[in-house]
Copies of this chain bind each other. A is one copy, B any other.
Amino acid sequence: MASIKDVAAEAGVSVATVSRVLNDHPSVSADARTRVLAAVETLGYRPNAVARSLRTDQTHTLGLVISDVLNPYFTELARSVEEEARALGYSVIIGNADERPELQDHHVRNLLDRRIDGLLVSPTDGGSPLMLDAARAGTPMVFVDRWIPGVDVPVVRADGRAAVRDLVAHLHGLGHRRLAIIAGPAATTTGSERVEAFREALAEYGIPLPDAYIGQGDFQAESGRRVTEGFLDLAEPPEVVFAADNLMALGALDAVRARGLRVPCDIALAAFDDIPWFVHTDPPITAIAQPTGELGRAAVRALVDRIEGRPPQSVTLPARLVVRRSCGENPEQNQNPEQNQRPAQNQSRAQNENPEQNRSTS
């Protein structure tokens, strides 16, 4: 691989001049510039990013540690993050924690060792010493989707409170009174907040949320299945199961089907996080949709602001309820079935990326 020295030799100038041309420093003669560029061309020279990073102490790389690549929500988040980062001149290295704190730490350590310029994290747990140290040490960092309370790091996330209230209103309107939730790990903010929002919304209707109706999941499909089986085994099973993410909803669907039961006749189902497939499941699943793409972009902007010395901003965007048929039909409100309400092109990747809708930032 040709180095800057080879280019310098080929062009008959010093390495300093080559470097200046490459970083278009003003003080280079037109003659030298053309000779250097010609040499670069003939040698097929590409600057060594490793060497450059060592010298400048900048990698122009962001780390993104997500909880689970197999979850379409995070996949979409990752895509928008990479897109925005690329637009701002950064690359992204993704670490997949698989909802396992030790794997999360592995990736954080790895990214830090590589001297990434900043870190985007959706923490799997309440915060390992490693991550807390990194935050305290001043590593540019932004939390996205989930966050760790008490740490001075900007947070970019969706607020699902209003949407959960809408969901409960919808369920109540359909006559459901026994409502259960499959929660995420209590150590995650999304794990506990969604339960709280659900409980509060139920309270408005005077409906309690007994412990038996709070299943402890881990955001993975298998836990959704296990918890749902527990619900179905109760003396008085719930009429509705609300899964705190889409994978647990998938698991719930599996469990219901394994019993030979049907959604929504035998039991209703709703999920947090909307995905294109929910339109085509049997039945189409009512879900709370986050403005995922917008969140990813906002998170990158906040992180890059922080990196480049501008004050970063926390952002909270509202989630919204998307009613489909998995909770039952309401002949009154539901004269517009969802398949007409959500036009077809929305189910492509452009979904949720309409910035003009539902904006309310803090």
Q: Name A residues whose Cβ lies closer than 8 Å to a Cβ of B.
A: 44, 46-51, 53-54, 59, 69-70, 72, 75-76, 78-79, 82, 86, 91, 93-94, 96, 98, 106, 109-110, 112-115, 133, 220-222, 225, 250-251, 253-255, 257-258, 276-277, 279-284, 339, 343-345, 347-349
Within the complex, what minimum Cβ distance (angstroms) separates A162 from chain B? 27
Is the Cβ of A94 less than 8 Å from the Cβ of B91? no
**B76 to A225, Cβ gap below 8 A?**
no
A250 touches B347 (CB 8 A): yes
A79 touches which of B69, B115, B253 (Cβ 8 Å): B69
Q: Which residues of B contact A82 (CB under 8 A)?
A: 96
Q: Across the interface, do A96 and B79 meet the contact criterion of CB distance under 8 Å? A: yes
Which residues on the B side are within 8 Å of A343 (C-beta)?
A: 258
Q: How far is the CB of A329 from chain B (nearest CB, A)?
A: 15
Question: Would you give 14 A-B contacts (Cβ < 8 Å), ordered by A?
Answer: A48-B113, A49-B113, A50-B54, A50-B115, A222-B348, A225-B348, A250-B280, A251-B348, A253-B280, A254-B279, A258-B343, A280-B281, A282-B282, A282-B283
- SS of A interface (majority): helix
A253 nearest in chain B by CB position = B280
Residues of B within 8 A of A276 (CB): 221, 250
Distance between A203 CB and nearest chain B CB, rounded to angstroms: 32
Shortest distance in angstroms between A342's beta carbon and chain B's nearest beta carbon?
Answer: 10
- The one of B54, B70, B72 in contact with A349, judged by C-beta atoms closer than 8 angstroms, is B70
**Judging by beta carbons under 8 Å apart, are A339 and B225 in contact?**
no
For A133, give the chain B residue with the smallest CB separation: B44
Known: A221-B349, A282-B284. 9 other contacts (CB 8 A): A44-B133, A46-B109, A49-B115, A50-B54, A220-B348, A225-B345, A254-B347, A277-B280, A282-B282
Q: Which residue from chain B places its CB closest to the CB of A257 in the assembled complex? A: B339
Given A113-B48, A250-B280, A276-B250, CB of A345 within 8 Å of CB of B69: no
Please judge, given known A-B contacts A339-B257, A344-B225, whether A114 and B70 are in contact too, CB under 8 Å: no
Closest to A343 in B: B258
Contacts of A51 in B (CB 8 A): 54
Which residue of B47, B91, B114 is within 8 Å of A49 (Cβ)? B114
CB-CB under 8 A from A339, the residues of chain B are: 257-258
Nearest 4 CB-CB pairs, A to B?
Answer: A282-B282, A277-B277, A49-B113, A258-B344
Specify which chain B residues have a CB less than 8 angstroms from the CB of A282 in the assembled complex: 280-284
Q: List the B residue with the shortest CB-CB distance to A346.
A: B254
- In the assembled complex, how far is the CB of residue A115 from the closest CB belonging to chain B, in whole angstroms? 5
* Chain B residues with CB below 8 A from A254, complex form: 279-280, 344, 347
Q: Please indicate which of the listed interface residues A44, A75, A250, A254 has the most CB atoms of chain B within 10 Å of its own CB.
A: A254
- Chain B residues within an 8 Å CB radius of A54: 48, 50-51, 54
- What's the nearest-Cβ distance from chain B to residue A307, in Å? 16
CA distance A257 to B75 in the complex (A): 26
Which residues of chain B have C-beta atoms less than 8 A from A114's C-beta?
A: 49-50, 91
